[in-house]
Each structure stands twice: as C-alpha cells, then as structure tokens.
Amino acid sequence: MEKTILDELQQIKQLTVLGAKQALTMDDAALLTGLSKSHLYKLVCGKKIPYYKSAGGAKRTYFDKGELTAWLLQHRVKTADELETEAATFVVTGKTRKGGKK
C-alpha cells in the first residue's frame, strides 16, 4: 500500500511539472500524448510529428507542447449531427458548406 501511494505521488509530481513546461522531452511527450516512446521515435524518424533537435553533442529531441497538442487534434471527426446538417444543406442547395459544388 505504501508503494502505491508513493507511485501515485510521483505521478502527480510528473503531471504538475509537465503542466509548467513548454519544451518537452521524449519522456514528457510520451506522458502527455499517451504514446509509447518507441512510437514517438518512429514518428520523429518519419518526420510525421513536429519536433526539435538540440544543438551540440547531446542531440536530444524536444517537442513544443502547443505544437504537440495541435498535432494530436489535427484530425477532428465530425459528429453525426454535423454530418446530417451538411447532408441536408447539400440536398437543399446542391453545395457543400465551403461553397463549392460536388
């Protein structure tokens, strides 16, 4: 039981520190996104996620928290209500919401 409480306190500490950071390490990014570090490395290698490399010998990988959050939220899925509204608009006007014909 004591170990569980210590683990939970450690996790609370990590999340508190994470909230204050703008530049995230690989560990921070994994914690924020819920993705494994190995998956993040694959995304970095494939240049599929925004990241930064530090100058000098260490060559560590960093992420901007705002960019990482935007990346996570870039593929929004429309709700059923939004799709129904778009379909009704198309049926009535023959145009998509953006104004073009389909």
Kindly list the distances between the CA atom of residue 77 and the CA atoms of 74, 80, 90, in Å, as whole numbers in the listed order. Answer: 10, 9, 19
Q: Which residues 6+ apart lie within 8 Å of 51 measured at CB?
A: 44, 61, 62, 63
- The pLDDT profile of the chain, 102 residues, written as one tens digit per residue, is 677 888 888 888 877 877 778 999 999 999 889 999 999 999 999 999 999 998 876 789 999 999 999 999 999 999 999 999 999 999 998 877 665 554
Report the pLDDT value the prediction gives residue 84, as an integer from 0 to 100: 93
Q: What is the pTM of this model?
A: 0.66
Report the pLDDT value the prediction gives residue 87, as an integer from 0 to 100: 92
Q: Which of 97, 61, 95, 59 is nearest to 78 (CA)?
A: 97
DSSP, res 102: -
Report the pLDDT value the prediction gives residue 5, as an integer from 0 to 100: 86
85 φ/ψ sector (left φ>0, alpha ψ -120 to 50, else beta): alpha
Taking the alpha carbons of 61, 64, 68, 69 in that order, is the dihedral positive or negative?
positive
Report the pLDDT value the prediction gives residue 21, as an integer from 0 to 100: 86
